[in-house]
Amino acid sequence: MENKRILIVGAKGQIGSELLDYLRAKHGTDNVIGADLRTLHINGPTEVLDVMDFSAMRAVVEKYGITEIYLLAALLSATAEKKPEFAWELNMKGLFNALNLAKEGLIKKIFWPSSIAVFGPGTPQENTPQNTIMDPNTVYGISKLAGERWCEYYHNKFGVDVRSLRYPGLISWKSQPGGGTTDYAVEIFYEAIQNGNYTCFLDKNRELPMMYMSDAIRATVQLMEAPAEKLNIWSSYNLSGISFTPEQIAMAIADRINNFSIDYKPDFRDKIAQSWPSSINDDIAKADWNWKSEFNLDAIVKDMITNLTNKLQLS
């Protein structure tokens, strides 16, 4: 078996922290290096690294003999709207640094996540296809769409093996989300368990594509392990789990937490969500690398409440 040395940049974030545990269990702790701008207080090899610093990234890659990078450092949709120029700079520079390390032959493979935010108000909202109108109206969405184009360009022009998924909103109990529009679907569990009430920043009928973290991690690793010749998409694959509205998830939580109540105070994030699809067609991911999601809404709610309750009692 090929000896992988993996670098996760953004390893302290919502996805990175879980991906790190998953990949360390699979490939061994010493073969998976966690890097972040913030210090990681975990066992095993870690680095404090700014993804915007090309020479620092190259030094880490050389130090550990890295073969694959999972590039997760970015500003998410809601935070990016508050710092548009910085978000563009961070989201693009980190990607270019990784792409150029691969172009130089220093690393063999990159994973870089895109998002449902690449779509916009002109996109068909239901069962959104892989290839369609893409007119994102957020700085985050613009950076993700540009990133997708650059990934495909580096693949076609320089043979770089860079793989990508358009993640839906991700729901997790181990790690907290980092400033996105879909964060409500995690916050709601904390508030339901701790206070019995949640004030939602999206409209009660705002339906969005979502996915449980374990499905997202599985999809990521499955795509990275798929034979290159099976892949037809070198920009970013549509990926679908489930879709629900705030009202629907609140009802599912209320079935398990007595007297849980929700009220709605939509803010600027509701406008962002309004421009995104309500459901995603991922037929190409299913056909190319056998993708299949496992968690439906009921399974997510059950798992979240059980694990988050335990976690909050222990903390």
Q: What is the DSSP letter of 40?
A: P
Q: Angle at the Cα of 208 (from 202 to 212), degrees rounded to 5?
A: 110
DSSP letter assigned to residue 34: E
Q: Is 25 exposed, middle or buried (0-12, 13-18, 19+ CB in 10 A)?
A: exposed
169 binding ligand SER? (CB under 6 A): yes
In Å, how far from its chain's centre is CA 124? 22
Q: Which x/- pattern, by CB under 6 A, does the window 214-233 give for ligand SER?
A: --------------------
x/- track of binding to ligand SER for residues 17-56 (CB under 6 A): ----------------------------------------
Q: Which does 16 bind (CB under 5 to 8 A by kind): ligand NAD, ligand SER, none?
A: ligand NAD
- The listed partner (ligand NAD, ligand SER, none) that binds 213, CB under 5 to 8 Å by sort, is none
Residue in 22, 64, 70, 140 annotated catalytic: 140
CB of 223 to ligand SER, least distance (A): 17
Q: Dig out the tokens for 153 from the structure.
A: 């360009």
Total residues contacting ligand SER (rule CB under 6 A)?
10
- The answer to whether 177 and 17 have CB atoms below 8 angstroms apart is no
Query: What minimum distance in Å lies between the beta carbon of 264 and ligand NAD?
Result: 21
State the Cα angle at 14 between 214 and 161, rounded to 5°: 75
Q: Is 70 a catalytic residue?
A: no
Question: Residue 294 burial by CB count (10 A; 0-12/13-18/19+): exposed, middle or buried?
Answer: exposed
Would you tell me which residues interact with ligand SER (CB under 6 A)?
76-77, 115-117, 140, 169, 180-182
Give the catalytic positions in this structure: 140
